[in-house]
Amino acid sequence: MRQGMGSAGLRRSGVRKDREPTIALINIVFLMLVFFLVAGTLARPLERELRLVQAADLEGVAPADALVILADGGMRWRGEVVEDVADFVAAQPDAERARVVPDRDLPAADLVRIGRALRAAGAGQVVIVTERGL
């Protein structure tokens, strides 16, 4: 055997590199993410005999006290033509809130213009009634 070799020759250098636990931490976070995604989407199935209510055939009717705005900008209240929004606001029992039902095809600029005119005529709050989507 060589003299200087001994057991010190078989050892690696005295500098030991500490591994960072980043990979293990990433794995744990990923597993938790997968767990919560799966746990959050699982739900008990509905009963097979259950038939849900279909509301597709129901006719939507605007509230009686709402100002209906047609696609061309024409306004109606209780079936009558409204020429000036000030007349509509003055006829409201609760002038603090003006309910508006705009047509889906009404340009947004027209809706904003009418909303501002309602506020200028004395309506404290302009509420837009919309169709509720799922």
At residue 13, the pLDDT reads 59
The percent of residues above 70 in pLDDT, for the chain, comes to 65
DSSP state of 98: E
Six token digits for residue 127: 């509420």
At residue 90, the pLDDT reads 83
Q: Is 77 helix (H, G, I), strand (E, B) or coil?
A: strand
At residue 134, the pLDDT reads 33
Tens digit of each residue's pLDDT (9 = 90 or more) over 33-81: 999 888 877 666 666 766 666 656 555 555 667 888 888 888 888 878 8
Residue with the two structure tokens 């050892």: 11
Element (H, E) at 73: none
Six token digits for residue 31: 């597993």
At residue 84, the pLDDT reads 86
At residue 33, the pLDDT reads 93
Half-sphere exposure of 107 (CA within 13 A, CB side): 5
Residue 133 has pLDDT above 50, yes or no: no
Residue 26, amino acid:
I
Q: Is 82 helix (H, G, I), strand (E, B) or coil?
A: strand
**Integer Cα distance of 51 and 127 in angstroms:** 35
Domain boundaries, the chain: 67-128
